[in-house]
Structures are given as structure tokens and as C-alpha cells.
């Protein structure tokens, strides 16, 4: 896979973000919605520390994020979200064993934690453990009233694509798109899979929906549109998209490929 195509598949970075407070309740939990009054002062302190850890993680300050997770667990050791986030931090640091240990710890504490299932699935996919990853995604999607189905369908589709299973990738991404047609990641990745399957007219439709909104257009989306037009023999629109790519993102790798006429890289 070329550098440009590899970068295109990184458009799904959002799938590995932690969603705090969205874990499913464990099987033996009371059937009532928890409120702030149910938390002890220690639990509130733990949540504040965990929110700080998430903020540091999102800024790439991993060691500081780990310190905040540690302080969160010192305040309250019974927080699956803390282990889930620590798994993400260790994964970002390249500490794979520690990352998976923490994801599994979160799931031991709450097997119905959809966020941990999703995050462990994406972690496994990035390590080319595709079958295990799909098992985690399916387990998350099977949860009653799971609230992040689009995010997980999107991750499933990208993971199938990483494995070269293009038909399965199309199916998962189409489901994500149908559930949220305004999601630019769903539209882009679906168009990319259709391009790889040489269904250029269909790919053109979906990438067009993404690029129609200026705020969604980026080097990857404009380059994909350019290559689709090239495959369809639409030289005028190929030049229009290519020139837009060159003018708006002149320093991008995709603009360099366009300048060199490397449409098939």
C-alpha cells in the first residue's frame, strides 16, 4: 500500500477515542439510572482525575495522562473506564502487552462495556489480529441499546479493509453510512472501498457527498475524487479536483502525487 493510501486509512482515528460514561451497566447492576447523588466523594474525585487523563491523552501527553489515571484509581479502584483509558494510552505508547492487559481488565470488571469492546477491537485490528478484532466489534454491536453502533460499524469496515476483505468492508461501511449519512468518515471510507472494488460510479457518488461540504474536504478526500475521475476518463473534472487539491493543500503528499501524475499509487 502506498503512503497516500495508507494515510487515507488513518482518517478513522476517531474510532479509538474513549467515550467516558457510555459503558453498559454490568449484569448485576440495579435497574435504575445513576445520578450524581449516588457517587461518593472518592468516586467524584476519581471521575475528575479520569476526565483530566482523557484530556491529556487527546493532546498526546501520555505520561501525564497515565499519572492522572493512577490518581483516579487510587481514589476509586472500581472504574472500568480507567482501565479502558489506560489501555488506549499504553497502545499509543507502543506498550502492547500493557494495553491489552488493561482492556481485558476493563472487560473483566464489566463484560458489557461497549467502549472497551470497541477500543480493544480497534487495538487488535491495528496489530493485524483481524478475526479477534471482529469478535470484539460484534460483541459491542450485540449489546442492547448500544449507542455507538455507527462508530463500531465504521471500525469494522476499516478493519475488514485492512485485511483485504473488500466485500465485507463494503457491507459494514454501508451500514454505518445508512445509519449516519452525514458522517464524513463513513462516506470517505465507503467510497475508498468502492474505488478499490472498481465500482467507480458508486465511489464517485459517495465521495461527492463528502466533498460537497467544504469543511469535510481534505487532501485524502480530494485525491480520492481526483483518482476516481481519472478512472472514469473525466479529464475536466479530474483537473478541477486536482487543482483544488494543489491550491488548498500544496504541501500534502497527495498534492505531490497529483503533480507527478501518479494516479494509480
pLDDT tens across 196-243, in order? 999 999 999 999 999 999 999 999 999 999 999 999 999 999 999 999
What's the pLDDT band for 40 if we cut at 50, 70, 90?
Answer: confident
HSE on the CB side for 31, CA within 13 Å?
0
The pLDDT tens digits for 54-81 are 999 999 999 999 999 999 999 988 899 9
C-alpha 145: how far from chain center? 20
Where do the structural domains in the chain lie, given as residue ranges?
1-15+148-265, 20-28+36-146
Distance CA 258, CA 253 (A): 9
Calpha distance 78→73 (Å, rounded):
7
Domain 1-15+148-265 shares a fold with domain 20-28+36-146: yes
Residue spans of alpha helices (H) in 93-250: 96-109, 114-126, 130-141, 149-162, 166-179, 184-196, 200-211, 219-231, 235-248
Of the candidates 251, 193, 249, 183, the one whose C-alpha atom is nearest the C-alpha of residue 224 is 193
CA dihedral 234, 240, 241, 247 (to 10 degrees): 160
Count of beta carbons in the 10 Å neighbourhood of residue 165: 17
Query: Could you give the CA distance from residue 91 to residue 102 in angstroms, rounded to a whole number?
Result: 10
CATH of domain 1-15+148-265: 1.25.40.10
- Residue 43 confidence (pLDDT): 84
Share of the chain above pLDDT 70, in %: 85
Domain 20-28+36-146 CATH superfamily: Tetratricopeptide repeat domain (1.25.40.10)
Residues above pLDDT 90, as percent of the chain: 82
Predicted pLDDT of residue 134? 98
Q: Does residue 98 carry a pLDDT above 60?
A: yes
Using alpha carbons only, what angle is made at residue 235 by residues 232 and 238, rounded to the nearest 5 degrees? 85
DSSP SS3 for 218? coil
Burial of 17 (0-12, 13-18, 19+ CB in 10 A): middle
The pTM score is 0.85
Lowest mean pLDDT among 14-23, 39-48, 169-178: 14-23
Task: Report the chain's terminal Cα–Cα distance, integer Å.
Answer: 8
State the Cα–Cα distance between residues 168 and 176, nearest whole angstrom: 13
Q: What is the pLDDT of residue 175?
A: 98
pLDDT tens, position by position, 99-120: 999 999 999 999 999 999 999 9
Residue 262 has pLDDT above 80, yes or no: yes
Query: pLDDT for 156-210, tens place per residue?
Result: 999 999 999 999 999 999 999 999 999 999 999 999 999 999 999 999 999 999 9
Per-residue confidence (pLDDT) for residue 1, from 0 to 100: 45
pLDDT confidence of residue 38 = 59
pLDDT of residue 58: 96
pLDDT score at 32: 62
Of the candidates 109, 111, 108, 83, the one whose C-alpha atom is nearest the C-alpha of residue 98 is 83
pLDDT at residue 106 in the model: 97
Amino acid at each position: 500500500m502506498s503512503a497516500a493510501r495508507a494515510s487515507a486509512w488513518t482518517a478513522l482515528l476517531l474510532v479509538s477515542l474513549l467515550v467516558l460514561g457510555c459503558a453498559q451497566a454490568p449484569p448485576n447492576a440495579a435497574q435504575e439510572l445513576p445520578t450524581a447523588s449516588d457517587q461518593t466523594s472518592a468516586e467524584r474525585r476519581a471521575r475528575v482525575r479520569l476526565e483530566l487523563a482523557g484530556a491529556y491523552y487527546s493532546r498526546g501527553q501520555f505520561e501525564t495522562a497515565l499519572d492522572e489515571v493512577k490518581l483516579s484509581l487510587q481514589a476509586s479502584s472500581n472504574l472500568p473506564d480507567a482501565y479502558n483509558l489506560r489501555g488506549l494510552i499504553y497502545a499509543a505508547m507502543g506498550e502492547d502487552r500493557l494495553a491489552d492487559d488493561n482492556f481485558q481488565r476493563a472487560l473483566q470488571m464489566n463484560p458489557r462495556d461497549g467502549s472497551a469492546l470497541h477500543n480493544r477491537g480497534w487495538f487488535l485490528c491495528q496489530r493485524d489480529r483481524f478475526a479477534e478484532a471482529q469478535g470484539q466489534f460484534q460483541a459491542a454491536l450485540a449489546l442492547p441499546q448500544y449507542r455507538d453502533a455507527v462508530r463500531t460499524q465504521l471500525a469494522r469496515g476499516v478493519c475488514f479493509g485492512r485485511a483485504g476483505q473488500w466485500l465485507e468492508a463494503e457491507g459494514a461501511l454501508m451500514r454505518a453510512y445508512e445509519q449516519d449519512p452525514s458522517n464524513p468518515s463513513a462516506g470517505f471510507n465507503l467510497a475508498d472501498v468502492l474505488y478499490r472494488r472498481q465500482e467507480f460510479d458508486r465511489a464517485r457518488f459517495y465521495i461527492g457527498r463528502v466533498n460537497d461540504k467544504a469543511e469535510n474536504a481534505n487532501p485524502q478526500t480530494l485525491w480520492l475524487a481526483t483518482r476516481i475521475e481519472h478512472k472514469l476518463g473525466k479529464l475536466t473534472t479530474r483537473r478541477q479536483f486536482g487543482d483544488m487539491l494543489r491550491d488548498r493543500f500544496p504541501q500534502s503528499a497527495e498534492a505531490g502525487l497529483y503533480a507527478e501524475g501518479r494516479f494509480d499509487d
